[in-house]
């Protein structure tokens, strides 16, 4: 296996594993160490639980987009060793965009839930 491909796979697997762990084992108690932590999500236990579930349901899809884009780049002729930095930068960009989308979606859902607690 090519040298650069090993690093890409290790990075993808590590990030994917963390996301899967948060999906299947979200933090149960409000804490300041790990989990989806914002002012809204730490308002109360109900908001905390909702934020953990909602954010992990979105984040679980991000690695699929990253891996799909990497496969497309490699199939389109990108040389893993020569274009390693390019592939990593695109992958990191997709992760960042995904996490921003997750943040916006979760905060919006939390705001709606906290403003109208009877509707949810």
pLDDT at 5 over 90: no
Q: How far apart are the first and last CA of the chain?
A: 50
- The pLDDT tens digits for 61-77 are 999 999 999 989 888 98
pTM above 0.75, yes or no: yes
User: Could you state, in order of their start, the residue ranges of all structural domains in the chain?
Assistant: 3-27+37-115
Identify whether the C-beta of residue 53 lies closer than 8 Å to the C-beta of residue 26. Answer: yes
Q: What are phi and psi of 77, to 5 degrees?
A: 110, 5
Write out the two tokens for 75. Answer: 């199939």
Q: What is the mean pLDDT of the chain?
A: 91
Identify whether the C-beta of residue 62 lies closer than 8 Å to the C-beta of residue 19. Answer: yes
């Amino acid at each position: 296996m090519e040298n650069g491909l090993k690093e890409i796979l290790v990075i993808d697997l590590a990030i994917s594993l963390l996301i899967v762990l948060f999906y299947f084992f979200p933090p149960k108690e409000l804490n300041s160490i790990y989990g989806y932590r914002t002012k809204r999500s730490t308002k109360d236990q109900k908001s905390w639980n909702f934020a953990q579930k909602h954010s992990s349901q979105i984040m679980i899809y991000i690695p699929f987009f990253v891996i799909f884009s990497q496969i497309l780049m490699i199939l389109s002729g990108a040389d893993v060793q020569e274009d390693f930095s390019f592939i990593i930068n695109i992958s990191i960009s997709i992760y960042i965009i995904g996490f921003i989308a997750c943040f916006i979606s979760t905060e919006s859902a939390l705001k709606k839930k906290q403003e109208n607690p009877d509707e949810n």
